[in-house]
Structure 1
């Protein structure tokens, strides 16, 4: 029985994916951050129907003067025609970037715009366009090409993640950059880190799923990044409060400017962070993790920098996907080689039990088992470390009562079948290949308990602290390492190992039929 640092795919005996946090409608806040302006236009005439209350600060025009005005009256004709064409060109509701020059009371002002053609209206996000030059674009392009070249040379997933953290810190100037991977229960573990010396060290720490609840994770599929230039901002309301087109709050799911839940701003304060930016890492259309950037003071990257970061996040995602595929291919090749030897032995043996449990290669070699058992036609055969015969028969009875005819694999048998706790040292992990489950005939493979230490960033049981009213809540205020020892677990089963078990089961069934008939 060993004590190891917990792997990313460990199953933890607690669900920290808070239903309470996950039920908060983040997209219906009706508030934006003040570093930009939001306009809501109708789809027929592109008239301004709703605006954020800070328009006068950015555009020097009062809210009442903008409402009901055609957006075309503020744009050069060529820009407006381009906008109109792209909105109506069947863009599948994707964000459309523009550089717009607004004509405002006899003066011109440059903005970067993101236009969202929604089903019932059009959203326009405007941010003042800081002066930039072709040279800045060339510099960013060259840096991205350099980082891409480095990423292609990384040999493993962890090397890719660490290189991404190091290079993104240099590229962006953020004080700390973390690469954060989700485990099967949506807890996140920091797998790579680059930081200033005076910043807290979060490497290898795990954070509960409630830190990035479900609806926040879902929004990462709609937004290429989430930027908070400063946590110390005053949220800006939309005027009028109710969208006159939909008669509801405006859905801000697609908006980069969308305001942040106050509990998250408090969370940043507890981390001693003023500005943050996070980008999704999407592998095989699933949220693999995040790149999380932190800064000790206010920071608002330029549009060019944000676009570069967005592009790099996509490149890192592709590289991670490639490394994971390479790892899976290598493991499958190793398993196929062992399977080929085992299959030859199986068909040359007098019976399938002998072919599986004895010889130069066994089922233990194929599935990395410390023990195996076969229960067939009332008999029990074992090899390696296994529970006793009576315990095996009771385990099979439990399998018959509770499981289907499919292969079963669990790394937490004692948590699911309490009677197995007395032999957790040999069988905390179980893989069960049914031969004839109705008759209690199975091939069983076992792995021992491995005590695993999960290093949490703060006590996960205190991730959410409710006030007495049952409505107001706060995030934890300490991220000091909290160690949790996970018991009754074995090393996890790899997907490729389960596939190998399924192929072996088919071969055994063929062998049984051949021997009988």
Structure 2
């Protein structure tokens, strides 16, 4: 499980990231899920300008009695003053949590609230406080978080961190299945850890196409700490009036946890055989690295405290995954720096730089994990290991010159860009290029052979989206049975650390050439 790089970073010929799915404006739906209510206030006086239709059920007052009323009609002066003070200090950023007591029909109703200040208005999400005897108290959650954090810190690898998280989060939350899901460079995701009930399908190591989590959904994870669907069998609730009176547009619900879900995603959950789901982002270096995905066979609505604990744990898990990835990178960089130093020493003690790179121990192959290499310099061609024929190398160099490859370039599927290379895919499906003098056709080339790899998908990715005859309505795939795809014309991927080593070696070679010229 540990060496996932070759699997995760494999380059697939087909792009499964759907532009159609990625273009749907999910934030302008004007609908929320019914387990909470939503109010839209003006910023100056906190007057209620929009409200979800189900506010009547929560507050037992009509929308006519609610709309155009100041929030102070329903909250104590102290609570209103606190909201205004925090909005003033927060600006238009962040989410402010509260416990608010609404006065309605001579009684107080306690809500957990999230206040979102924006430039034009204030959004208030409200969920009624209903304490269940089965819920873990705050001190219990704190103890669980500390315990899980200590386990994550003890894990020895990325895979172990992820698996520990899946197991412990399933215990903590009671969800039937918890998956840790990592994105590949093309935004397909692979399940790298799993904890589940015995009667649920096994998704371990399966890949899911990028269209399952399209671009606009991925982007929203940066503004939402989690995405919760307590039940897929809900009836969406409208905002009234439909058009926001403050902007004359639909209200932007990007940051709202209550935002309603696209019908196609609810259908997707049905096809998965689950009723409730919750997903949390794993963000590393300001990039969406993966997701924690929680599934339940029946309706499930974790408490606000539990959701907050999961939000905190997703951040802790992200940090621990980043630590393990950084540890691997540091160790590889140290190893490559040692090899680089020895090669540079050989470079300066050899009659020519080509001999310094191609002979001795270690040499170019060791630095970049090559099975073949070629150097073209001052009209000469030097090769070592398994390489294409000299004429094929010269034709490849002509292509590199035409495409003005002037900095380190690497691909694990050269055949995708340069079709003629497929004739020698067994020798050179992967290519790394260190340009010396592009105009003169002088390059250092490294080759890696084709490695046939089997990708196991959770359902046929070619059937991820099924369009109806109108060209507008679409459905998700209805089967998640394992579908195997053989990836051809592809080598093992080039690691970032190897590209850095290649750039450093190129600089050393150019420096030696310049010194010898003067």
Common fold by TM > 0.5: yes
2:296 aligns with 295
2:43 aligns with 43
Contact 1:27 1:252 in 2 (8 A): yes
- Separation (CA, whole Å) in 2 of partners of 1:435 and 1:292: 48
> How far does residue 240 in structure 1 lie from its aligned partner after superposition?
0.6
1:482 aligns with 483
> How far does residue 514 in structure 1 lie from its aligned partner after superposition?
2.1
1:191 aligns with 192
1:119 aligns with 119
Is 1:108 matched with 2:104? no
1:93 aligns with 93
1:450 aligns with 451
Contact 1:30 1:250 in 2 (8 A): yes
Question: Secondary structure of the residue that 2:484 maps to in structure 1?
Answer: strand
- Separation (CA, whole Å) in 1 of partners of 2:111 and 2:54: 15
> How far does residue 423 in structure 1 lie from its aligned partner after superposition?
0.6
Question: Secondary structure of the residue that 2:90 maps to in structure 1?
Answer: coil
Question: Secondary structure of the residue that 2:61 maps to in structure 1?
Answer: coil
Deviates more, 1:77-86 or 1:142-151: 77-86
Deviates more, 1:181-190 or 1:505-514: 505-514
Contact 1:175 1:296 in 2 (8 A): yes
- Separation (CA, whole Å) in 2 of partners of 1:155 and 1:6: 19
Question: Secondary structure of the residue that 1:294 maps to in structure 2?
Answer: strand
1:305 aligns with 306
- Separation (CA, whole Å) in 1 of partners of 2:320 and 2:106: 50
Question: CA, structure 1 residues 5+39, in 2 after alignment: closer, same or farther (shift >3 Å)?
Answer: closer
Contact 1:47 1:68 in 2 (8 A): yes
> How far does residue 186 in structure 1 lie from its aligned partner after superposition?
0.5
Moved over 3 A (4+): 132-135
Contact 2:6 2:493 in 1 (8 A): no
Is 1:165 matched with 2:166? yes
* Unaligned 5+ runs, structure 1: none
Deviations 1:153-211 (A, max 9, x none): 11111111111111100110000000000000101110100000000010111111100
Task: Report matched runs for 1:245-260 at 5 Å.
Answer: 245-260=246-261
2:68 aligns with 68
Task: Report matched runs for 1:177-216 at 5 Å.
Answer: 177-216=178-217
* Unaligned 5+ runs, structure 2: none
Deviations 1:399-438 (A, max 9, x none): 0001331111000011211111111001000001011111
Question: Secondary structure of the residue that 1:162 maps to in structure 2?
Answer: helix
Question: CA, structure 1 residues 232+132, in 2 after alignment: closer, same or farther (shift >3 Å)?
Answer: closer
Question: Secondary structure of the residue that 2:375 maps to in structure 1?
Answer: strand
1:344 aligns with 345
- Separation (CA, whole Å) in 1 of partners of 2:205 and 2:325: 19
Question: CA, structure 1 residues 376+423, in 2 after alignment: closer, same or farther (shift >3 Å)?
Answer: same
> How far does residue 61 in structure 1 lie from its aligned partner after superposition?
1.1
- Separation (CA, whole Å) in 1 of partners of 2:231 and 2:357: 62
Contact 1:275 1:294 in 2 (8 A): yes
Question: Secondary structure of the residue that 2:171 maps to in structure 1?
Answer: helix
> How far does residue 132 in structure 1 lie from its aligned partner after superposition?
6.8
Count of residue pairs brought into register by the alignment: 514
- Separation (CA, whole Å) in 2 of partners of 1:5 and 1:486: 15
Question: Secondary structure of the residue that 1:317 maps to in structure 2?
Answer: helix
1:403 aligns with 404
- Separation (CA, whole Å) in 2 of partners of 1:39 and 1:127: 12
Contact 2:192 2:205 in 1 (8 A): yes
> How far does residue 365 in structure 1 lie from its aligned partner after superposition?
0.4
- Separation (CA, whole Å) in 2 of partners of 1:154 and 1:314: 16
- Separation (CA, whole Å) in 2 of partners of 1:92 and 1:21: 29
Question: Secondary structure of the residue that 2:140 maps to in structure 1?
Answer: helix
> How far does residue 378 in structure 1 lie from its aligned partner after superposition?
1.1
> How far does residue 88 in structure 1 lie from its aligned partner after superposition?
1.2
2:428 aligns with 427
Question: Secondary structure of the residue that 2:137 maps to in structure 1?
Answer: helix
Coordinate RMSD, CA, aligned: 1.3
> How far does residue 5 in structure 1 lie from its aligned partner after superposition?
10
Question: Secondary structure of the residue that 2:507 maps to in structure 1?
Answer: helix
> How far does residue 510 in structure 1 lie from its aligned partner after superposition?
1.4
- Separation (CA, whole Å) in 2 of partners of 1:494 and 1:6: 9
What TM-score, normalized to structure 2? 0.98
1:227 aligns with 228
> How far does residue 90 in structure 1 lie from its aligned partner after superposition?
3.0
1:236 aligns with 237
Contact 2:92 2:119 in 1 (8 A): no
